Amino acid sequence: MLQTMARELAPLHQGDPIKAATREAYGKALLELGEEMPDLCVLDADLSGSTKTKAFGQAYPERFFNCGVAEANMMGIAAGLASMGKTVFASSFAMFATGKAWEQVRQSIAVPEFNVKVAATHAGLTVGEDGKSHQMLEDITLMRVIPGMRVLVPADAVEARLAVRAAAEADGPFYVRLSRASTPVVFGEDYKFEIGKGAVVRDGHDIAIVACGIEVGMALAAAEELAQGGIEARVIAMASVKPIDADLITEAAQDCGCVMTAEEHQVMGGLGSAVAEVLATRAPVPMAFCGMNNEFGQSGDAWDLVSHYGLDGPGLAASARKLIESKKS
């Protein structure tokens, strides 16, 4: 059924592999949840066509509020609705939802522990041509440091749908990071997503690659390339960046002897930092961090940018080989 949904989501990407954008899955999940949860409200800030909340707005106009280009105000309104018992999803682009409105998310949503899910799309480099003003590469950090805020970065449309549902069903604040671009569907229909759990999507014992979002697909491509050179990489999809699956990471470090992280995000403070925080105390091993190194993005084709910054399959494979070399020396 999930594969069917992924196929439905990807009319433009027929053939193999099935591709879909996590934001499309978000829009679909909201429609399903709207029917099940009469207290669910959805807010947007003049980007409902792009974030895919529009369909919810058409189906449930009395529970949809377009707040206009005013993200800080939207987060305050979300907090007020939640204080009255509503479950609220508030959406914009990742840049504006977490950047423009960070303090409102912290003070008005996280401090009182309100039931607000900040679900933001267009995260990372794969916004492409819009350039650095729109390529949010700091949001995982910004959301992860807020006490009580849980952070989910699904790898594909299947996982996105499950993650959105999990966030809706759990009480309290969440950040769900979604993408604009279509990506290969990684998970099958039997996949069960759980908050706080990662998933081994390929097994291996030479290196562990922990990835989230679009980088899970890239890590799988890297593992394929590495296998041709006799290196077996374990690939872990870690959508639950916070709470993170410390046991799975520790076990991977002990089995593989080195761990690399991959994210469409700054290295500082993101998934890589979260993994390092676990391993530094539980199983210190050589590590490498793939992501943005203290720089902003730029305009260009989304996938050209991913390659340019060494975050495609070949780029990750090269970093992995270097890490394995350093492990030997």
Ligand X SMILES: Cc1ncc(C[n+]2csc(CCOP(=O)(O)OP(=O)(O)O)c2C)c(N)n1
Residue 211 near which of another protein, ligand X, none (CB within 5-8 Å, type-dependent): none
Q: Which of 67, 94, 201, 249 binds another protein (CB under 8 A)?
A: 67
Beta carbon of residue 46, minimum distance to ligand X (angstroms, whole number): 4
Which of 8, 24, 62, 71 is catalytic? The answer is 71
Q: Binding to ligand X by residue 100, rule CB under 6 A?
A: yes
**Is the previous residue joined to 184 through a cis bond, with omega within 30 degrees of 0?**
no
Report the helix count and the strand count for the chain, using DSSP H and E.
Answer: 14, 14
Taking CB under 8 A as the binding criterion, the range among 95-103, 137-145, 162-170, 199-207 that sits at the site for another protein is 95-103
The upper half-sphere exposure of residue 63, i.e. CA atoms within 13 Å in the direction of its Cβ, equals 21
Site string for another protein, 202-231 (x = CB under 8 A): ------------------------------
Beta carbon of residue 100, minimum distance to ligand X (angstroms, whole number): 5
Start-to-end Cα distance in the chain: 48
261-300 binders of another protein (CB under 8 A): 298-300
Question: How many angstroms separate the CA atoms of 211 and 218, rounded?
Answer: 9
Q: Which C-beta is closer to ligand X: that of 59 or that of 69? A: 69
Q: Which C-beta is closer to ligand X: that of 291 or that of 297? A: 297
Calculate the dihedral angle through the C-alpha atoms of 259, 95, 141, 253, rounding to the nearest 10 degrees: -10
Question: How many angstroms separate the CA atoms of 113 and 173, rounded?
Answer: 6
Residue 284 CB contacts under 8 Å (≥ 6 apart), including other chains: none
Q: What letter represents residue 163's amino acid?
A: A
Q: Which of 3, 7, 31, 72 binds another protein (CB under 8 A)?
A: 72
Total chain residues near ligand X (CB under 6 A): 5
Q: Binding to ligand X by residue 103, rule CB under 6 A?
A: no
Tokens of 77: 């309104």
Q: Which of 120, 260, 305, 324 binds another protein (CB under 8 A)?
A: 305
Q: Is the dihedral of CA 9, 11, 12, 15 positive or negative?
A: positive
Residue with smallest beta-carbon separation from ligand X: 46
Strands (E), 188-292: 199-202, 207-211, 233-237, 240-242, 259-266, 287-292
Q: Binding to another protein by residue 44, rule CB under 8 A?
A: yes
Calculate the dihedral angle through the C-alpha atoms of 228, 306, 198, 249, rounding to the nearest 10 degrees: 70
Calculate the dihedral angle through the C-alpha atoms of 162, 58, 62, 75, rounding to the nearest 10 degrees: 60
Decide if 71 is catalytic. Answer: yes
Q: Which C-beta is closer to ligand X: that of 69 or that of 280? A: 69
34-73 binders of ligand X (CB under 6 A): 46-47, 69
Q: Which residues bind another protein (CB under 8 A)?
A: 44, 46-50, 54, 66-70, 72-73, 95-96, 99-100, 128-134, 298-301, 304-305, 308
User: Where does this chain bind ligand X (CB under 6 A)?
Assistant: 46-47, 69, 96, 100
Tell me the catalytic residues. 71
